Every structure is written in structure tokens, then in C-alpha cells.
Structure 1
Amino acid sequence: MKLSAFKRSVAALAVVVPCALFSQAFAQQAAAPKGDIEAAKGKISMCIGCHGIPEYRASFPEVYRVPKISGQNADYIVAALKEYKSGARTFPSMVAIAKSLSDQDMLDIAAYFSQVK
């Protein structure tokens, strides 16, 4: 009899634990800060100067093909900007720009460029 009760408890946990984990993940995602596309329109001028020119190549400090960011995944854009800000990525002009951005600026810019094709 005790074994049967144990099996019921284990079966109940097999249902409850995944549901609890899913609920927690959903709550964290819902609470995650979001970018504001409208707010980004006042912040993107520094990006368009290079990233808005098809096949543009920067010449400082070396010749470098500037990547297209329109249509890029927003999470990727934010991650890249944070890496420039922290020094993990080292292209000088991007480091300077990223250091001037707040976390919300990064989210806004990423939201904007992720929806532009």
C-alpha cells in the first residue's frame, strides 16, 4: 500500500514540476524589458551612417565590411552592442557608440532594426 501512494506522489510530481518550471520561464519572459521602435527612431542616426549603406566599407582603423543589421535578430543586436560596450568586441567606432548607449537604448535600436527589411 505504501508503494502505491509513493507512485501516485511521483506521478503527481512528474506533472507539477514541469508546469511550475514552464510558468516560471513564462513569467520571466513576460517581465523582460522590451525595445520601443518609436523611441528608436530618435536614436538610429548614428547607426544608419554606416549600417544603412549597402556594401559599405569602413576605413578606420582598417578596411572593414560593415555588416547589414536590418532584419537581424534583436537579441543578437543587443548582445553585440553589450559586447562592444564591455570591450569583448573591439572595433573602435562601435565601442565608442556602444559605451554611449543605455540598456534601454540598445533594446530600442535592436527592436527597430529587427523589424526593418
Structure 2
Amino acid sequence: MKLRTNFKRTLSALAVTASCAFVGQAHAADSATVGDAKAAVNKVSMCIGCHGIEGYKASFPEVYHVPKIAGQNAEYIVAALKEYASGARSFPTMEAIAKSLSEKDMADLAAYYANLK
């Protein structure tokens, strides 16, 4: 009888541990895509030169009005960066920058710019 009780306790403990591990992994995956605006402070230098200048126009490869992205929706910014990285959107400078970013970098930059007004 005692062996059966210990076996049941061991199985219960394993089940709880496994479920905690699963939930922990899911939470970690979610937090990787949630941006940290403070972490982006050291990453914005590649963006601010174009996106922080009112009325700025890029002249390569063509004259292009560069949008200010302060206050833009974070999900939109991440989606745009992913599209540049994949080639679905085309602009040489943005493609090069987006390809150099991790998903966490993209989320951090998006959180930073979404919180600016």
C-alpha cells in the first residue's frame, strides 16, 4: 500500500513539473515577442537618422518620403520589419537593417517607437 501511495505521489509530482515546464516555455516564447522599450534605447541609432527627421526624404535608390514612426502601432512596426527582412517589402536600406535584427530587436524597437508621441 505504501509503495502505491509513493508511486502516485511521484506521478503527480512529475505531472505538475511537466505542466509547469510547458507553461514556462509558452510564457518565454510570448515574452520574446513582447518588446522592451528600454532595451531599444541602444538600438535606435540605426532608425533615428531617417525616421526621426520631419519631412526627411531618402534619395537612394529613388526619392522616397521616409515616414515618422513615433506613435505607430507596435504590431505594425514588427510586421513591416519582418516584411523587409523577408523581401516582401523592398527598400535596400530597410532590407539590410531588418535582416540584421532578431525578432527580439524588432519587438524592442516597435515598443520604443509605439510609446513615442
TM-score interval, smaller chain: 0.7 to 0.9
Find out whether 1:113 has 2:81 as its counterpart. Answer: no
- SS where residue 78 of structure 1 aligns? helix
Q: CA deviation at 1:93?
A: 0.3
- Give the equivalent residue in structure 2 for 1:58: 58
User: 1:67 matched to which residue of 2?
Assistant: 67
Q: Deviations over 1:32-77 (max 9, x none)?
A: 5310111100000000000000010000000000011000000000
User: Which letter does structure 1 place at the counterpart of 2:58?
Assistant: A
Q: Percent identity?
A: 69
The question of 1:95 aligning with 2:95 is answered yes
Which sections of structure 1, spanning at least 5 residues, go unmatched? 1-26
For 1:42 and 1:106, locate their aligned partners in 2 and report how far apart those are by CA, in whole Å: 13
What is the TM-score when the length of structure 2 is the normalising length? 0.73
4+ residue runs over 6 A deviation: none
- Does structure 1 residue 37 correspond to structure 2 residue 37? yes
Structure 2 gaps of 5+ residues are: 1-25
| CA-CA distance at 1:115 after TM superposition | 0.5
| Aligned residue in 2 for 1:84 | 84
Q: CA deviation at 1:89?
A: 0.4
TM, length-normalised to structure 1? 0.73
AA aligned to 2:55 is E
CA RMSD of aligned residues (A): 1.7
Alignment partner, residue 6 of structure 1: none
Instruction: Give the Cα separation in 1 of the matches to 2:44 and 2:96.
Output: 15
Aligned length, in residue pairs? 90
